Amino acid sequence: MSVAGDLLAFGDWRSLAVLRRNALVYFRNWKTAFLPPAMEPVVFFLAFGLGLSGYVGGLDWEGERLSYTAFVAPGLIAYTAFGTPYYEALYSAYVRMFFQKTWDGILATQVELPHLVWGEVLWAAARGFMNTAIVCVVLAGFDAAGAVDLHTAQLFWMPPLAFLAGLAFAAFALIFTALVPAIDHMNYPVFLLGIPLSLISNTYFPLETERPWLRALIDVNPLYHLAETCRWLLVRGEPGPHLGPLALTAGVLLLVSIVLAMRLTARRVLG
Amino acid sequence: MTALLEAQGLTKRYGDQTVVDDLDLRCDAGEVLGLLGPNGAGKTTTLRMLYGFATPDGGRIRYEGRDFGELRTELKRFVGVCTQEDTLDYDFDVRQNLRVYASYFRPRVPELEARVDELLEQFGLARFAGMSPHALSGGYKRRLLIARSIVHRPKILYLDEPTTGLDPAARVDVWELTDQLRRAGMGVILTTHYMDEAERLSDRLLVLQKGKQVASGATQAILDELLGDHVLVLRADDPAREAFEAAVAAHGLRPRRVLHELHVPVDAGGLAALSAALPEMRLTVRPPTLDDLFLALAHEEPA
């Protein structure tokens, strides 16, 4: 297939068949699949938000004074929107590819490799959508309880945003899935990329720097723009100036990553 | 008659190594074609090209006269693949393995539930339908793999070493299932290391060595062509061994050591000449088998 054909494969029935396969597995185990993402934001919000806010108090953001809980709540959403598809496309996809040989079975059918890669990306992004929705429900609960003050109506925008950005994060992760020789080597994309990226993106603390190289790095980081867009929506009730850069950086990351992921996966799986 | 499958000039290279070299093959409906050859002969690579897992570097593949390169998606609908490795989906139970696999084909499998029930019955899997494939023995896992590979009613089935690792009873089960499919009109392409399996199941054999076709046809015709009419057998500890080896070498032959014996394939003329040269020697003479052929190919360079 041509590059254009590879890119257009995302809407093909075969990509959706792979997505459906993963969704079937997920919903078969929905009790265990739903609980951790519901608990994680509760724990994080209690620890970072309510716990740290006593020490941090408030902080300045876009010219206004915010409580730490109001700052970190959108950060939690952005982190979920990043971490869920990123780790799904790293670990779960690797297990399906390497240990379970699920991909070999699928590729012996009418499903071709671009559909398989798109199916995995769509599924990882869909998981980002679901987990983000769960986090939003939890945060709405904290808002109702008075623990944080958010524009809760804007929470409805979070899962779709998470899905769209999640496509890029999942495609990026699949590059490493195709590259790492053994699952132990996943530590590299996790500890050298995933964790640092989630920390330098205005998720848990504001990042202000005068260093041009770090500023440039932050500006091309879609997770930073996602966190800020979530924050603008939930704190100010409007999309703010980061929505455009988010679309641009996530779009570029998706296009580059999906093409690269397809080439590398083809080399690894098809030989 | 148009062949169900016809490949011409099939070639595959990895780097500067040619693993399948200008291969021609054909398979008709209701026929089992056995691909035979030692490790590294190119059997699995050939299969992978035929079912679309690997892209050939040269040659053409046609299903019912239609070009696989041009109509790949449409033609893959008529191809069933049972891989050498266990690719069962362990996230699903036995029944779901069949159902989910069917979802990877369009047009959709008509009356899927009835088809799944039919396969569960035919392959003796009905009592395991709700269980994980983990609960199945090796033989039943293989049954499920084959059942899954034909859930969409393909016209041709690729079986890549379908009985490797199975006990004798499970092997016979797989043979019988394969024979059933052949009798139902399916074309089957089989690779195997087991010579008895190749001989029993295959209508025709295609023998590969280092990516090249060295013979093709019925078993006996291939043996006659590649090995001759007889195999001379002498015990390796026979006192006349040196004289035997010298006489054999004088005829341009080389004995092959198999455990405690020396084996030399010869044609009728060679047998007469060696008998005349070694009148006192007590040699065993037997017809050649596919095992002899396999051993010969594993140790010789292709012509």
Query: Consecutive 10-residue runs of chain A (271 residues): their mean pLDDT?
Result: 90 97 92 78 80 83 91 94 96 95 96 98 97 93 94 98 98 97 93 90 86 90 97 97 98 98 95 79
Structure tokens at B63: 């299903």
DSSP run (H or E) holding A58: strand A58-61
Average pLDDT, chain B: 91
In a domain, B129, yes or no: yes
Residues B71 and B44 in one domain: yes
DSSP-derived pairing of the beta strands B284-286 and B230-235 = antiparallel
In a domain, B59, yes or no: yes
Task: Compute the distance between CA of residue B240 and CA of residue A156 in angstroms, rounded to an integer.
Answer: 92
Residues B237 and B88 in one domain: no
Task: Compute the distance between CA of residue B86 and CA of residue B95 in angstroms, rounded to an integer.
Answer: 17
Share of chain B above pLDDT 70, in %: 98
Residues B181 and B37 in one domain: yes
Residue in the block written with tokens 């996943």: A186
Give residue B274's pLDDT: 85
How far A90 CA lies from chain B's nearest CA (Å)? 18
Task: Compute the distance between CA of residue B221 and CA of residue B143 in angstroms, rounded to an integer.
Answer: 32
Report DSSP letters for A86-131, one per residue. Answer: HHIIIIIHHIIIIIS-HHHHHHTTT--HHHHHHHHHHHHHHHHHHH
| CB contacts, 8 Å: A101 with chain B | 85-87
Residues B65 and B197 in one domain: yes
Assess whether pLDDT exceeds 80 at residue B296.
no
In a domain, B103, yes or no: yes
Residues B164 and B179 in one domain: yes
DSSP-derived pairing of the beta strands B79-82 and B156-160 = parallel
Give residue A39's pLDDT: 82
Structure tokens at B8: 């011409």
pLDDT tier at B260 (50, 70, 90 boundaries)? confident
In a domain, B85, yes or no: yes
Residues B126 and B208 in one domain: yes
Residue in the block written with tokens 């929470």: A155
Mean pLDDT of B175-184: 95
Amino acid found at B75 = L
User: In angstroms, how far apart are the furthest CA atoms of chain A?
Assistant: 58
- Ramachandran angles phi, psi of A243, nearest 5°: -65, -45
- Ramachandran angles phi, psi of A35, nearest 5°: -65, -50
| CB contacts, 8 Å: A110 with chain B | 73, 76-77, 104-106
Residue in chain A closest to B55 (alpha carbons) equals: A270
Structure tokens at A41: 């934001």
The structural domains of chain A, with segments of one domain joined by +, span 3-270
A32 — contact with chain B (CB < 8 Å)? Answer: no
Residues B39 and B178 in one domain: yes
Q: What range does the domain containing B51 cover?
A: 5-223
Assess whether pLDDT exceeds 50 at residue B303.
no
| CB contacts, 8 Å: B149 with chain A | 108
CATH number, residue B283: 3.30.70
Residues B163 and B20 in one domain: yes
CB contact under 8 A, B83 and A104: yes
Q: What is the pLDDT of residues B218-248, one digit of tens each?
A: 888 888 877 788 888 888 888 888 888 888 8
List the Cα angle A90/A93/A94 in 5-degree steps: 75
How far A53 CA lies from chain B's nearest CA (Å)? 43
pLDDT tier at B301 (50, 70, 90 boundaries)? low
CB A47 within 8 A of CB A125: no
In chain B, how many domains are there? Answer: 2
- Ramachandran angles phi, psi of A252, nearest 5°: -65, -45
Residues B12 and B153 in one domain: yes
Residue in the block written with tokens 């140790």: B299
Residue in the block written with tokens 């730490």: A68
| CB contacts, 8 Å: B81 with chain A | 108-109
List the Cα angle A199/A205/A210 in 5-degree steps: 85
Looking at the DSSP assignment, which residues form a beta bridge with residue B215?
A: B207
Give residues with Cβ within 8 angstroms of A56, minimum separation 6.
A68
CB contact under 8 A, A110 and B77: yes
CB contact under 8 A, A109 and B106: no
| Secondary structure (H, E, C), B46-100 | HHHHHCCCCCCCEEEEEECCEECCCCHHHHHCCEEEECCCCCCCCCCCHHHHHHH
CATH number, residue B146: 3.40.50.300
SS3 (DSSP) at B181: helix
Strand ranges for chain B from DSSP E: 5-14, 17-27, 32-36, 58-63, 66-67, 79-82, 156-160, 187-191, 204-209, 212-217, 230-235, 256-258, 261-266, 284-286
How far B79 CA lies from chain A's nearest CA (Å)? 8
CB contact under 8 A, A25 and B91: yes
| Chain B interface, best mutation among A1, A110, A111, A263, by max B CB count within 10 A | A110
Q: What is the pLDDT of residues A153-186, one digit of tens each?
A: 999 999 999 999 999 999 999 999 999 999 999 9
Q: Which residue has the higher pLDDT, B94 or B279?
A: B94
Reference A234, options A168, A145, A167, A161; nearest CA is: A161
CB contact under 8 A, B100 and A108: no
Instruction: Write the residue in A13, A104, A111 that is nearest to B85 by C-beta.
Output: A104
CB contact under 8 A, B85 and A101: yes
Assess whether pLDDT exceeds 70 at residue B300.
no
Last residue in a domain, options B223, B247, B264: B223
In a domain, B135, yes or no: yes
Give residues with Cβ within 8 angstroms of B157, minimum separation 6.
B80, B81, B82, B146, B149, B150, B181, B186, B187, B188, B189
CB contact under 8 A, A100 and B81: no
Residues B19 and B33 in one domain: yes
SS3 (DSSP) at B264: strand
A115 — contact with chain B (CB < 8 Å)? Answer: no
